[in-house]
Amino acid sequence: MLHLLPHWNWAAGDTIDVWAYTNADEVELFLNGASLGVKRKTEPVSHLMWRVAYAPGTLRAVARTGGQVTATGEVKTAGGPARLELVPDRTRLAADGNDLSFVTVQVLDASGVPVPTADQLVRFRVAGDARIVGLDNGDQISHAPFQADWVQLFNGKALVIVRAGERSGTVTLTAASEGVEPASVRIALGARH
């Protein structure tokens, strides 16, 4: 297991604390292919940290146990917002009026890299027998409603919860925001599986 934090969109001259959470023995960090050193854990469950002078590109971590690579992770500098992406946790729901799909919304740049600084207002439309029953962006100080057809992105992401209706068929969730390409996702409604 390896989790590399934070994102890699900063300003020139910034020094960033980079964290690697892992269950491996050691992690080596690379910035644009150049090693920033290996850190070894002193406790069974812990994190490792590097202070890194920001340079745009790719930050890559390689976790090793007993000299063998066990996990890798990377974060890339994103370009400007280009398009929305919708990623449902499930694309088939029971048409029972209760089944839910949790759809992650994020903004990608032209190369498909998530834009962690995106904060667009995104509006949603549902076609078919389903409805939006919840929205959130993870911003702890937001006062936005949880039930609406819009959400303000926070750190480039949000979540939309879609509830199935009671008629079999296909539901389409569409997301649109000014200045970026819209996105749609289809969710099939049918008998419980």
Q: Where are the domains positioned within the chain?
A: 2-76, 83-190
What topology is assigned to 2-76 in CATH? Immunoglobulin-like (2.60.40)
DSSP β-ladder status, 46-53 and 15-22 = antiparallel
Quote the CA–CA distance of 23 and 3 in Å, as a whole number.
10
pLDDT digits (tens, 9 = 90+) for 62-100: 999 999 999 999 999 999 999 999 999 999 999 999 999
What's domain 83-190's superfamily in CATH?
Immunoglobulins (2.60.40.10)
- Per-residue pLDDT, averaged over 37-60, amounts to 92
User: How does residue 145 score in pLDDT terms, banded at 50, 70 and 90?
Assistant: confident
Q: Percent of the chain scored above 90 by pLDDT?
A: 90
What is the predicted pLDDT for the residue at 193? 57
Q: DSSP E strands: which ranges in the chain?
A: 2-5, 15-22, 26-31, 34-40, 46-53, 58-65, 68-76, 83-88, 92-94, 100-108, 121-127, 130-136, 150-152, 157-164, 169-176, 183-190
What is the predicted pLDDT for the residue at 144? 84
134 closest CA partner among 152, 159, 171, 99:
159
74 closest CA partner among 132, 140, 20, 119:
20
pLDDT reading at 44 higher than 90:
no
Give all strands of the β-sheet with 2-5 in edge-to-edge order.
2-5, 15-22, 46-53
pLDDT reading at 45 higher than 80:
no
What is the predicted pLDDT for the residue at 150? 94
> Do 83-190 and 2-76 fall under one CATH topology?
yes
The DSSP symbol for 140 reads: T
pLDDT digits (tens, 9 = 90+) for 147-185: 899 999 999 999 999 999 999 999 999 999 999 999 999
Q: Which two tokens stand for residue 6?
A: 């934070």
